[in-house]
Amino acid sequence: MDPTLKPRLVAALKDEIAHLAPQLRAAAKYVIDHPLEFGLDPIRETARKAQVSTYTLVKIAKTMGFESYEAFRAPFRQALLSTAHEAEHLAWLDETRATGDTGRVFADAADNALSIVQRSLQRQDLAALERAVETLLAADRVFLTAMRASYAMAYYLHYVGRMALPSLELIPRHMNSAIDDLNDAAPNDALIAISITPYSRETIEACVYAQRKGLKLVMISDSEVVAPELSPEHTLVANVLSSHHFACYSGMTALLETLVALLMDRGGQGAMARIRSYETLRLENNAYWLAKKT
């Protein structure tokens, strides 16, 4: 089988997704976002995860020009056999799982976290990461926005990243909306937006507004297809599947750590000097708790 068929299929799905009916769009988005699971799971499990019917999965296969669902899935299964390798099974997880209900929940969550970190990092394109970093370094100002749980990711990226990227600004500020803080942004600025399913309305509207003003957009998400009206210059994708109801941010945290590492490396001596200046400032102002000597 042609090894380029899977990436060509994913690219074709991205091109077609905006023109599909809602249920077909949901199926296409699942295949784009979870190619590994799509290649592994039987059709009923894929339908459950994608929250569509098995009929919809068969229909998306026909829409993409395949005679059957299995023919459509075949390139994804072949890609698994030829390129993917599963992480070595950890015996300690089985031992922990066998200890009882707490051990079972712990082991399921730990297994999931380890898995999505690996998948999130494996799927990164180094050239795409480098281009995103170059865009951020070249911008006059880099705005950073996120809402709700994703705000924690944005706060950490800003707290650490501004030492390598002093132009980084976390918005919204002072209880404004992100759009308020983008009012005086210019085409030589950039916006980093972090959002995962279900996507924050405020974040998407800020992205649309930023693109209308000519800013470069770096999207950090769980999908390459976030909203039809968005055309980010760069999209960095992390896996956020979890063993509980809410998203697991372990994979996104790992992705952000690699982004910080690249920014620090490119920041060179200037970044190191800013880190030292921040540490000096905090020590001089007693920022850290120190145990009293007895």
What does the pLDDT look like over 243-260, one tens digit per residue? 888 899 999 999 999 999
* pLDDT given for residue 123 in this prediction: 85
pLDDT at 85: 41
Give dist(CA 94, CA 71) in Å, integer: 35
Q: Identify the pLDDT of residue 52.
A: 95
- Is 79:3 a contact under the CB 8 Å cutoff? yes
107 band by pLDDT with thresholds 50, 70 and 90 = very high
pLDDT tens by residue, 265-285: 998 898 899 989 988 998 899
275 in Cβ contact with 162 (< 8 Å): no
Mean pLDDT for 148-170 is: 95
Confidence at residue 86, expressed as pLDDT on a 0 to 100 scale: 45
Taking residues 163-187, report their average pLDDT: 92
Flag the least confident range among 1-5, 158-162, 221-225, 257-261: 1-5
Residue that has been written with the tokens 């994804």 in this structure: 76
* CATH T-level fold of 5-83: Arc Repressor Mutant, subunit A (1.10.10)
pLDDT, mean of residues 138-161: 96
Distance CA 250, CA 252 (A): 6
Determine the pLDDT at residue 148. Answer: 93
Q: Torsion over CA of 240, 226, 59 and 46, rounded to 10 degrees?
A: 0
- The secondary structure element, H or E, covering residue 171 is strand 168-171
* CATH label, 126-284, candidates 3.30.70.1060, 3.40.50.10490, 2.40.170.20, 3.40.50.300: 3.40.50.10490
What is the pLDDT at residue 88? 47
The CA-atom distances, in angstroms, between 261 and each of 27, 122, 159, 161, 271 are 35, 16, 14, 9, 11
Mean pLDDT of 101-113: 92
Can you state the percent helix, strand and coil of the chain, rounding each to 5? 60, 10, 35
In 10 A of CB 78, how many CB atoms?
16
Maximum C-alpha span of the chain: 79
130 or 41, greater pLDDT: 130
Check if the beta carbon of residue 194 is closer than 8 Å to that of residue 220: yes
